[in-house]
Structure 1
Amino acid sequence: MSRASFECRCVLCHDYGDREEADELHLTVLENVRRYGRHVMMVAGDEVAPGFAYTIGLAHTHGVPEFAVFGLDLPTMHRMMNALGDRAVDGAGFGNEGERREVAEGRRVVFKSADLRWYRTFFGRAIGFYRRPPISLLQVTWADPAGCFPWEEQASPQHRESQPRLWLPPEDHPSGVWTAEM
């Protein structure tokens, strides 16, 4: 996806007639996208599921995919989302299934395209900004200290539950914390 081939339908590019109804968080997202070219939305974990973070605005500003990461602490995920945003803007390509080390504080990561059917579950603020899916979104999956990804047989049960498998259709996702309310 490039900016030239991306027709942005976001609330900055189009007036949908409801700007006066924007809540404080929505206004913060808009201001950050205007000022920095993106906003990092962070969702704290709870007793049921780990937290996650995702970008909003990279497609609007630069025509590159949005990113999402799950299961790390919020400051680490925030730094990771900003580093990925900076690298994407600088022209680094992050294709589906590409493994990288330099973007996640030394961790091995693999990028996976998120299935559109997960968007409403996890990325409501991005939908509110863009007004409609699909937006290209890459999940940043990370390996544990032993180098195992959550889908690998050797991964611990805790690591398997730390990240959803958003590249799978929801009905094909293994049962667990990410599918409990579906």
Structure 2
Amino acid sequence: MYEASRICRCVICHDHGDRDDYDAADQGVIGNVNEFGWSVTGVAADEQGPGWSYTIGRWHSRGEPELAMFGLDLRVMQSCLNTLGQREGLADGQSQDDVVKGYPLQLRTVEPGWFKAFFGQAIWFYRQPPIPFLEVVWPDRDGAFPWETGSLTQPHLWLPPAEHAPGVWTQDVPGELITREP
């Protein structure tokens, strides 16, 4: 689906004329991608809602989808993404049973309509959305996934934004307000 756009236009591969404007966070992402092949960016929970984390660099380094995780403790999500970041061949529908002890994780393809709302630093890095992303979805304590229960503790980014139920993930998201059509 994304292979036709595999030409990397990221800030490492291309000089977009703004390298003097990169701040410490930007330089940190570039350094991590150069050293490890990816970087993990975290957005902390606040009064607006839960936090999330995502990778930047897997697409640049390997042509593999970026990964995103939502609604858990930031350190837990970053640890999971670093563990998964080392793996190759991750794809939609896969189960990853050995990342969180006792709980499987499921991978789901993120619809491009969500990119501006959640992946701002990845858009800065790549300069060419859409980049393939997989949402790393975790089950509840009973082992049920959100598509089985309708839970909104994490967003359903495999759905187009207009099909997502209203809630914390569709309101006042940094970067863009997503509204549901009536």
TM, length-normalised to structure 2 = 0.88
**Structure 1 unpaired stretches of 5+:** none
Number of the residue aligned with 1:142: 138
- Is the Cα contact below 8 Å between 2:65 and 2:134 reproduced in 1? yes
* Residue correspondence of structure 1 range 110-129 to structure 2 within 5 A: 110-129=106-125
1:67 correspondence with 2:63: no
1:6 positional shift: 2.8
1:129 positional shift: 0.3
- Is the Cα contact below 8 Å between 2:108 and 2:137 reproduced in 1? yes
Distance 2:101 2:41 in 1: 19
1:47 positional shift: 2.5
**Structure 2 unpaired stretches of 5+:** 173-177
Number of the residue aligned with 2:160: 169
1:76 positional shift: 0.8
1:178 corresponds to which letter in structure 2? W
1:180 corresponds to which letter in structure 2? Q
Number of the residue aligned with 2:175: none
Q: Deviations over 1:117-162 (max 9, x none)?
A: 1000000000000011111100001101101112223x6xxxx222
- Is the Cα contact below 8 Å between 1:70 and 1:164 reproduced in 2? yes
Number of the residue aligned with 1:57: 57
Q: Secondary structure at the match of 2:32?
A: helix
1:87 corresponds to which letter in structure 2? R
RMSD of Structure 2 on Structure 1 (CA): 1.9
Same amino acid, percent of matched pairs: 46
1:58 corresponds to which letter in structure 2? R
2:171 corresponds to which letter in structure 1? A
Moved over 4 A (4+): none
1:2 positional shift: 10
Distance 1:136 1:169 in 2: 15
- Is the Cα contact below 8 Å between 2:108 and 2:134 reproduced in 1? yes
1:14 corresponds to which letter in structure 2? H
What is the number of equivalent residue pairs in this alignment?
172
Distance 2:45 2:27 in 1: 24
Task: Specify which of 72, 85, 95 is matched with residue 99 of structure 1.
Answer: 95
2:40 corresponds to which letter in structure 1? V
TM, length-normalised to structure 1 = 0.88
1:46 positional shift: 1.4
1:178 correspondence with 2:169: yes
Number of the residue aligned with 1:130: 126
Q: Deviations over 1:1-52 (max 9, x none)?
A: 899x832110100111111111221111111111111110011111231111
Distance 1:17 1:45 in 2: 33
